[in-house]
Amino acid sequence: MTVTRTAAYQRNGQPITAEAFYAIACDPRRSVAVEACAGAGKTWMLVSRIVRALLESPAGELRPQEVLAITFTKKAAGEMRERLDEWLKKFAHADDHTLRQELVIRGVLGGAHHDNPSVLRNLYRSVLATGRSVQIRTFHSWFAALLRSAPVAVLQRLNLPVNYTLLEDDAPARAMVWRRFYTVLLADASLKADYEAVVLAHGRFQTDKALGAALDKRVEFAMADALGVVDASVMPFGDHFPELAIFNHPMEALQGPSPLLLSAAQALGRASAKTFSAKGVELELALSAGDASGVLAALLTGTGTPRKFGEKIVGIETVR
């Protein structure tokens, strides 16, 4: 058996050493995107970038509060703050040999800081002296801060509220939205008909699932709709199926006795198996009556999949 092994570390798809990888990933002067599985050390690299940014900036040019790290959850943000504080305290009491090792594993392989690790030792004191800390926040917290500092005129132009409450859990608000949604739906006969048609075609569960997905992306959906992107994303039926473009509704194609469907009905009617021949008769009667639903019932199962007719039926390819 042949086992294919992939390199543990890669840069732009090319294998590199661990040392080279961390030298790139931990360098705050580089813009990098790191892809790795859970537990691989992404948080370690991110906090290491913060340490190096503070360490390598010329004195006074980068203040701690000017460094921003954004994550998804409060828990992750708390862990990052705790790790940064823990490292800086540890560095403050470490000897030169230990500090050089800490620098090397973070990609500092030479230079002034490697030769003079006391700068790393004094980093904790330097951060404390500023009276401000590195900003490690969640997405919600960061954007809430932007809203708080935005001029009222800007908020009004963007149709954003001046006063708001940040929802940590939007479940109660979502429940209120559904009540308003159905109230509007019942008051508009056209919208109600569209909704009922979707439920009839896809079922209530799938319809609610689709509406829930749209609600999850409500901002993106509203912006796309305002620009006409949503309508433009739905290809007209006639463009997708040119052979059906002459019909107002695709079901109309099944209402007339088309030669292909009549041939399929005759092929099934000649089948020796009674169940198959019965479907042939059913199909022919539906075509004669212009019953599109009857045509579908003869050719498809209850779940909408094609019926499995015998391979030995003469003309089975026509039926398919």
- SS3 assignment, position 135: strand
Q: Is 155 within a domain?
A: no
Q: State whether 15 and 82 are in the same domain.
A: yes
Q: State whether 31 and 133 are in the same domain.
A: yes
What's the pLDDT score for residue 279?
67
What's the pLDDT score for residue 293?
75
Element of type H or E holding 15: strand 14-15
Structure tokens, 21: 């990888």
Detail the DSSP E strand segments found in the chain: 10-11, 14-15, 68-71, 135-138
Polymer length of the chain: 320
Per-position pLDDT tens, the chain of length 320: 454 555 688 899 899 998 899 999 999 999 999 988 888 888 999 999 999 999 988 766 889 999 999 998 899 999 999 999 999 999 999 999 999 999 999 988 877 676 778 888 998 998 998 888 999 999 888 988 888 889 999 989 988 888 888 777 788 888 889 899 999 999 999 999 999 999 998 899 999 999 999 898 888 988 898 888 888 888 887 787 887 777 777 777 666 667 766 666 666 666 666 676 676 676 667 666 667 777 677 677 777 777 666 665 655 665 55
Given a contact cutoff of 8 angstroms between Cβ atoms, the answer to whether 67 and 123 are in contact is no
Specify which residues 70 forms β-bridges with: 137
Structure tokens, 155: 């908020």
Structure tokens, 311: 């391979």
Q: State whether 70 and 193 are in the same domain.
A: no
What's the pLDDT score for residue 3?
46
Q: How far is 121 from 126, CA to CA, in rounded Å?
A: 10
Q: Is 163 within a domain?
A: no
Q: State whether 93 and 208 are in the same domain.
A: no
Q: How buried is residue 108: exposed, middle or buried, by Cβ count under 10 Å (0-12/13-18/19+)? A: buried
Q: How far is 5 from 206, CA to CA, in rounded Å?
A: 42
Q: State whether 52 and 124 are in the same domain.
A: yes
**CB count in 10 Å sphere of residue 96:** 13
Q: State whether 108 and 194 are in the same domain.
A: no
Give me the domain span that covers residue 268: 250-319
Q: Is 34 within a domain?
A: yes
Q: What is the DSSP letter of 248?
A: S
Q: Is 146 within a domain?
A: no
For tokens 């609600």, name the residue: 215
Q: What is the DSSP letter of 300?
A: B
